[in-house]
């Protein structure tokens, strides 16, 4: 008789090697975070300011929250269509400092239109009577707290208990990462969505499905970030509908309320939103990570392979309990693959890599010991991830001893590996998963 097999992930209270490491690791992690933020303020932003002045490029509040906030204010207070070109020009006046002029070659291409579902205005409604500077500061701190809280939440989801010094290290590296740094500087809603997703999944695995469904509906203000997660949860839910339907029911009910409220405020908003998405892709030239690295149509082939490999994993693990290690692994794989497939390679979206990175560190010994291919992937992935910290610390230090113009010439160096990171992480996750499942399927048999 063939024995039943399933994917097993290592779950240990705490790594012995972690317990033996000295407290120099948190200090080095804090150094990386300080170096990154110093590089941002003294090198990157300084370069952007000088470059904008040289090319007569406008600079206003440069907050990604502003287009959503102004669109919400105009819709709720004045009944104006936030997707209209008139509102877009008013957004540009605040975001850039003046409306964009197509006749000026130095002006940005990004028109900063309101390319979000209408129901985002419901969450911004309490702020529309405040000065935007106040809203901007408050939103920054909210994103910071959410991102900070997401680290222990993801640790709980992936079933990994680490000592205090390791938690401090992980928090410092998270807050000092390129993704989080850019998201905080821009007040990007991707950090809000990532934080909501972390809370929702933590609620789901601790048997609070109704609250999880509501939060996932709220997180759909950026549909591209939650789509693959919802597909995975749908597959998982249909595998045991009677026990798992509650999160789906609360999600659908919340979405129905949000869509109905949006239709009441702005009739026929869905086609307008769809048109705004197409316009966004046109004026930003948005491309996926794979499109950036490999030209179309070859990139589409790799994207299809990644999606197919992900769907196979989702189908195989659909019966696993929400609190299991296999569920956490597939969830992390889904979020990592999302970064590959969404039609934009913005670094701030890479905050969704956090659970995958935690799992890879947790499983590092198992992965390393399997074969030489894994070891090569581990070395490459580690180098890609740590390069931004190493180079930013070096540039931050050089900014205090070299002329500003000299240091600014190297402003792009820390970003050299940013686009490749999600590819390496996804490849390592997929390799680990399929090696584990193949080994289980071809293991010893009993008769």
Rounded to a whole number of angstroms, the distance between the first and last alpha carbons of the chain is 4
CB atoms within 10 A of CB 156: 17
Considering the domain boundaries, does residue 1 fall inside one? no
What is the C-alpha separation between 120 and 326, in angstroms, rounded? Answer: 33
pTM: 0.91
- Phi, psi angles (nearest 5°) of residue 81: -75, 115
Q: Are 275 and 269 in contact (CB under 8 A)?
A: no
Considering the domain boundaries, does residue 8 fall inside one? no
The count of domains in the chain is 1
For residue 37, the surrounding DSSP H or E stretch is helix 24-39
How many helices (H) and strands (E) are present in the chain, helices listed first?
22, 0
Q: What is the residue-level pLDDT of the chain in tens, covering all 447 positions?
A: 333 334 444 444 445 544 555 678 899 999 999 999 999 999 999 999 998 888 888 888 999 999 999 999 999 999 999 999 999 999 999 999 999 988 888 888 889 999 999 999 999 999 999 999 999 999 999 999 999 999 999 999 999 999 989 999 999 999 999 999 999 999 999 999 999 999 999 999 999 999 999 999 999 999 999 999 999 999 999 999 999 999 999 999 999 999 999 999 999 999 999 999 999 988 888 888 988 888 888 989 999 999 999 999 999 999 999 999 999 999 999 999 999 999 888 999 999 999 999 999 999 999 999 889 999 999 999 999 999 999 999 999 999 999 999 999 999 999 999 999 999 999 999 999 998 887 666 665 443
Considering the domain boundaries, does residue 10 fall inside one? no
- Buried b / exposed e along 117-133 (16+ C-beta atoms within 10 A): bbbbbbebeebbeeebe
CB atoms within 10 A of CB 334: 24
What is the C-alpha separation between 389 and 173, in angstroms, rounded? Answer: 9
Six token digits for residue 405: 């113009």
Which distant-in-sequence residues (6+ apart) come within 8 Å of 214 by Cβ?
Answer: 250, 251, 254
CB atoms within 10 A of CB 19: 11
Considering the domain boundaries, does residue 315 fall inside one? yes
Q: Which domain holds residue 44?
A: 16-441
What is the C-alpha separation between 117 and 68, in angstroms, rounded? Answer: 10
Considering the domain boundaries, does residue 97 fall inside one? yes
Considering the domain boundaries, does residue 5 fall inside one? no
Six token digits for residue 231: 């597909």
Which distant-in-sequence residues (6+ apart) come within 8 Å of 152 by Cβ?
Answer: 167
Q: Are 29 and 173 in contact (CB under 8 A)?
A: yes
CB atoms within 10 A of CB 409: 10
């Amino acid at each position: 008789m063939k024995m039943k097999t399933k994917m097993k992930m290592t779950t240990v209270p705490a790594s012995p090697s972690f317990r033996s490491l000295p407290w120099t690791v948190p200090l080095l992690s804090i150094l990386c975070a300080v170096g990154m933020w110093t590089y941002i303020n003294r090198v990157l932003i300084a370069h952007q300011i000088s470059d904008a002045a040289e090319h007569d490029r406008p600079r206003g509040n440069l907050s990604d929250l502003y287009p959503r906030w102004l669109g919400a204010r105009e819709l709720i207070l004045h009944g104006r269509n936030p997707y209209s070109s008139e509102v877009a020009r008013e957004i540009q006046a605040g975001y850039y400092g003046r409306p964009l002029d197509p006749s000026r070659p130095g002006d940005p291409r990004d028109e900063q239109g309101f390319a979000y579902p209408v129901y985002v205005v419901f969450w911004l409604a309490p702020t529309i009577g405040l000065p935007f500077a106040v809203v901007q500061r408050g939103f920054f701190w909210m994103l910071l707290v959410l991102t900070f809280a997401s680290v222990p939440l993801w640790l709980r989801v992936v079933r990994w208990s680490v000592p205090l010094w390791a938690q401090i290290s992980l928090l410092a590296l998270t807050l000092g990462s390129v993704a989080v740094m850019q998201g905080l500087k821009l007040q990007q809603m991707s950090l809000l969505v990532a934080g909501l997703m972390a809370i929702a999944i933590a609620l789901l695995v601790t048997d609070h499905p109704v609250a999880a469904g509501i939060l996932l509906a709220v997180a759909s203000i950026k549909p591209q970030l939650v789509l693959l997660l919802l597909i995975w949860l749908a597959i998982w839910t249909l595998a045991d509908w009677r026990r798992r339907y509650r999160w789906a029911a609360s999600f659908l009910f919340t979405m129905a309320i949000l869509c109905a409220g949006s239709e009441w405020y702005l009739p026929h908003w869905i086609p307008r939103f769809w048109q705004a998405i197409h316009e966004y892709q046109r004026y930003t030239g948005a491309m996926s990570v794979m499109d950036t690295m490999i030209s179309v149509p070859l990139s589409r082939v790799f994207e299809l392979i990644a999606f197919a490999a992900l769907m196979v994993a989702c189908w195989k693990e659909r019966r696993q309990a929400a609190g299991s290690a296999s569920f956490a692994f597939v969830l992390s794989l889904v979020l990592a693959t999302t970064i590959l497939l969404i039609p934009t390679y913005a670094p701030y979206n890479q905050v969704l890599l956090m659970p995958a990175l935690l799992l890879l560190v947790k499983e590092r010994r198992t992965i390393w010991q399997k074969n030489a291919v894994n070891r090569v992937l581990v070395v490459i992935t580690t180098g890609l991830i740590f390069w931004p910290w190493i180079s930013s610390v070096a540039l931050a230090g050089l900014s205090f001893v070299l002329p500003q113009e000299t240091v600014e010439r190297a402003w792009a160096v820390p970003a050299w590996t940013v686009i490749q990171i999600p590819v390496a992480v996804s490849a390592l996750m997929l390799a680990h998963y399929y090696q584990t499942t193949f080994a289980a399927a071809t293991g010893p048999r009993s008769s």
